[in-house]
């Protein structure tokens, strides 16, 4: 944009361009701020969310966790998917220190002291919803402590990168 400003030096039409550019700038800034407010979702781990208690109820957010496979159920009548999610750390460094994502997911679902979050979602279960999947869910926490998810995202493709083969040739 500096090009134009410079081009416009001592040009009688310069103010028109300044005004035009400024208007676009203001419009872009306005759009970014207002849309950020409209679209913002705070990102929590299960532990962080549970630690916030009731103050977390009602605000849109994303929650990270690991899926417990035997809790997955689908109710045909209400077309509701429900499952339980347990805490996993969000920080990549922590994950690496604990042996990578696959190891973290496995440890999380086996941990007897884990914190759990119940999730319901009206709609279909994605193909990637399975035991030990890393889940990012979008939605709000209900007053009874159940998380109502409007969007489910499971990161299973990861496992093709990270799970090492276990067999060995004799």
Partner 1 sequence: MVADVGYGALVITFLLCFYGIGAAIYGVKKKEQSWVESARHAMLLSLPLLTISALSIINLLVTDQFQVAYVASVTNRSMPTYLRVTALWGGQEGSLILWVWLLSAFASAVMLRDWKRDREFLPWVIIVCLVTLGFFLILIIFVENPFAKMWITETGERVTSIFQPGGSEPFIPVDGNGLNPLLRHPGMIYHPPMLYLGFVSFVIPFAFAIASLVTGRTDDRWIRITRRWTLWAWLFLAIGLILGARWAYDVLGWGGYWGWDAVEIAALMPWLAATPFLHSVMIQEKRGMFKHWNMFLIILTYDLMIFGTFLTRSGVLSSVHAFAQSAIGPLFFAFIVLTLGTSLWLLSRRWQDLKSETRITSLLSRESMFLINNWLFMGILVVSFWGVIFPLLTEALGIVGDTFPSLSHIFTGQKVTVGPIYYERATGPLLAGLLFLMGVAPLSAWRASTARTLGRAIWKPFAVSLVVLVIIIGGGIRHPGALLAFWLCAFVTVVTLYEFWRGMAARRRRSGENYGLALWRLAARNRRRYGGYIIHLGVVLMALGIIGIEIFQTETQGTIAIGKQMSLGEYSFTFDKLDEFDTRDGRNVARAEISVFKNGEFVETLAPRRDFYYESGQRMTIPGLRSTIEDDFYVLLVSWEPISAENATFKAFHNPLVNWLWFGAIIFILGTFVAAWPEREKQYMPIKTDQSIATAST
Q: Is 44 in the site for partner 1 (CB under 8 A)?
A: yes
Contacts of 100 (CB under 8 A, 6+ apart): 162
Residue 55 interacts with partner 1 (CB under 8 A): yes or no: no
Residues that bind partner 1 (rule: CB under 8 A) add up to a total of 68
Query: What is the C-alpha separation between 16 and 8, in angstroms, rounded?
Result: 10
Q: DSSP class of residue 126?
A: P
Taking CB under 8 A as the rule, does residue 113 contact partner 1?
Answer: no
DSSP per-residue letters across 59-72: S-EEEEEEEEEEEE
Q: Contact between 28 and partner 1 (CB under 8 A)?
A: yes
Which CB, 148 or 163, lies closer to partner 1? 163
- Only one residue has tokens 């028109």, namely 16
124 interacts with partner 1 by CB under 8 A: yes
Among 70, 127, 143, 144, binds partner 1 (CB under 8 A): 127
Q: Torsion angle, CA of 55/58/61/65, rounded to 10 degrees? A: 70
Q: Which of residues 7-26 bind partner 1 (CB under 8 A)?
A: 7-8, 11, 13, 16-17, 20-21, 24-25
Q: Which of 136, 159, 150, 169 is nearest to 65 (CA)?
A: 136
Which residue reads 């994605």 in tokens?
Answer: 126
If the CB atoms of residues 101 and 119 are measured against partner 1, the closer one turns out to be 101
CA atoms within 13 A on the CB side of 148: 10
Q: Is 6 in the site for partner 1 (CB under 8 A)?
A: yes
List residues binding partner 1 (CB under 8 A): 1-4, 6-8, 11, 13, 16-17, 20-21, 24-25, 27-28, 31-32, 34-36, 38-44, 48, 62, 64, 74, 76-77, 79, 90, 92, 95-96, 100-101, 123-128, 130, 136, 138, 151, 153, 155-169
């Amino acid at each position: 944009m500096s090009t134009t400003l410079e081009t416009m030096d001592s040009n009688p039409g310069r103010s028109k361009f300044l005004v035009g550019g400024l208007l676009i700038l203001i419009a872009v800034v306005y759009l970014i701020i207002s849309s950020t407010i409209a679209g913002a979702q705070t990102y929590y781990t299960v532990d962080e969310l549970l630690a916030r208690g009731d103050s977390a109820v009602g605000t849109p957010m994303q929650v990270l966790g690991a899926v417990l496979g035997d809790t997955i159920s689908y109710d045909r009548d209400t077309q509701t998917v429900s499952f339980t999610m347990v805490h996993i750390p969000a920080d990549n460094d922590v994950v690496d220190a604990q042996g990578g994502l696959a190891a973290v997911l496995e440890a999380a679902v086996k941990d007897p002291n884990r914190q759990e979050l119940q999730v319901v979602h009206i709609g279909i279960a994605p193909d990637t919803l399975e035991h030990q999947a890393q889940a990012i869910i979008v939605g709000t926490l209900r007053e009874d402590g159940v998380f109502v998810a409007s969007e489910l995202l499971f990161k299973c493709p990861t496992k093709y990168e990270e799970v090492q083969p276990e067999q060995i040739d004799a």
